[in-house]
Amino acid sequence: RYVAVGNEPFLKSYNGSFINITFPALKNMQRALDEAGVMVKAVVPLNADVYNSPEKTPVPSAGSFRKDINTLMVSIVNFLHRNDAPFVVNIYPYLSLYQNANFPLNFSFFDGGSKPVFDKGLVYTNVFDANFDTLVWSLRKAGVPDMKIIVGEIGWPTDGDKRANVKYAQKFYDGFLKKMAKNVGTPLRPGRMDAYLFALIDENQKSVLPGRFERHWGLFTYDGKPKFPMDLSGNGQDRYLLGVEGVQYLPSQWCVFDKDLKDRYRELPASVNYACSNADCTALGYGCSCNGLSHDGNISYAFNMYFQTMDQDVRACSFGGLAKIVTANASQGGCVFPVQILSASERVVPLRVLAASLVLSVAVFILM
């Protein structure tokens, strides 16, 4: 069992905000756990950008911890190693593709369709193995060559970018899960490895500072529906995962742009900007699931997302009189205009469930 101290505190985008406090926090947490007598280890989940290889020699064996945090990282990994705690790293092959327009697409997957990388007699056919072994080399150079590594997060987004889609996500997971099932490990560290898929469900309020795809890592949609077939056992028998049962929705109604008011187009930019500043419009981006909408369709999508985010409050479908509520499904092609789910406070509990809950409550009361 582990306790995570922060999450990716040394991201370059944080500009060093957590450099001086992370290691002390880690030590304090481990001390508290030890004093409590629990067999739990404190760890710091880190992004794969804490280590790298030089541009001139982009191979795993040239890897080491980032120069600006090298001394700190050496201290942290040695502390973790002394406490028999693992190095937890979040590896996202998708980000290699997203951040580099020239990155070979097939090197992101596991079917060997890309030109391999050769390094000290080892052959790399995918970026995950290369990334993982760059970390192994970094740990070697830090004096802990046998340190256990856990992949704390790995996944592929399904929207928000032209290469964040269901097709590529399914391909990535199929390859990765088959690899995990075979326990082949990586060229430098063969054998079983531990990894956690990210994420279970989409997060429509997550920051999009790293990219619009950030809200679409889920294996399930916002309402608990599986996005694509997959086999978690890695045996290649893909089938849809079991979705959430009993999901209750708000009424089947949508907020759309009133096309009879096209003479008021000049008023629309401010309204659309307001809607998308307070709701999730990331599916409208280039190459995304709603990229093919017309001009009016884009407006309606933005209006509806805000309307649903506000739990279908009629005041949220006004926009100065530019919008109207309709009962015909506004979805178009592969672009889904969602209907909000009921919040916990509004949910209707089936009578049989309510009765069972009452019986259980009475039983517990009697036992007390």
In the structure, what pLDDT confidence band is assigned to residue 364 with cuts at 50, 70 and 90?
Answer: very low
Environment class of 170 (CB within 10 Å of its CB; exposed 0-12, middle 13-18, buried 19+)? middle
pLDDT given at position 343? 80
Q: How far apart are the first and last CA of the chain?
A: 32
pLDDT tens digits, one per residue of 265-314? 899 999 999 999 999 999 999 999 999 999 999 999 999 999 999 999 99
pLDDT given at position 348? 56
pTM of the model: 0.91
Q: Quick one: which of 242, 243, 249 has its CA closest to 225?
A: 243
As given in the structure block, the two tokens for residue 353 are 């469930």
Q: Specify the DSSP class assigned to residue 340.
A: P
Q: Quick one: which of 277, 276, 266 has its CA closest to 300?
A: 276
Cα-Cα-Cα-Cα torsion 276, 280, 284, 286, nearest 10 degrees, comes to 100
Kindly give, in sequence order, each residue whose CB lies less than 8 Å from that of residue 164, ignoring residues fewer than 6 positions away. 94, 98, 156, 157, 158, 213, 216, 288
pLDDT given at position 346? 63
CA distance 190 to 185: 4
Q: Specify the DSSP class assigned to residue 242.
A: P
Q: Cα separations (Å) of 313 from 103, 189, 253?
A: 45, 55, 11
In the structure, what pLDDT confidence band is assigned to residue 150 with cuts at 50, 70 and 90?
Answer: very high
pLDDT tens digits, one per residue of 4-14? 999 999 999 89
pLDDT tens digits, one per residue of 155-209? 999 999 999 999 999 999 999 999 999 999 999 999 999 999 999 999 999 999 9
pLDDT tens digits, one per residue of 240-249? 999 999 999 9
Q: Quick one: which of 295, 335, 314, 204 has its CA closest to 254?
A: 314
- Helices 295-309 + 268-277 axis angle, to 10: 40
One DSSP character per residue, 12-40 reads GGGTTTTTTTHHHHHHHHHHHHHHHT---
pLDDT tens digits, one per residue of 124-146? 999 999 999 999 999 999 999 99
**Residue 274 three-state SS:** helix
pLDDT given at position 322? 97
Domains (ranges, CATH) in the chain? 2-215 (3.20.20.80), 248-368 (no CATH)
List, by residue number, the catalytic residues: 8, 153
Average pLDDT value over all residues in the chain = 94
**Residue 356 three-state SS:** helix
**Residue 360 three-state SS:** helix
CA distance 285 to 162: 8
Q: Quick one: which of 108, 113, 44 has its CA closest to 77?
A: 44
pLDDT given at position 362? 37
pLDDT tens digits, one per residue of 329-353? 999 999 999 999 998 656 555 544 4
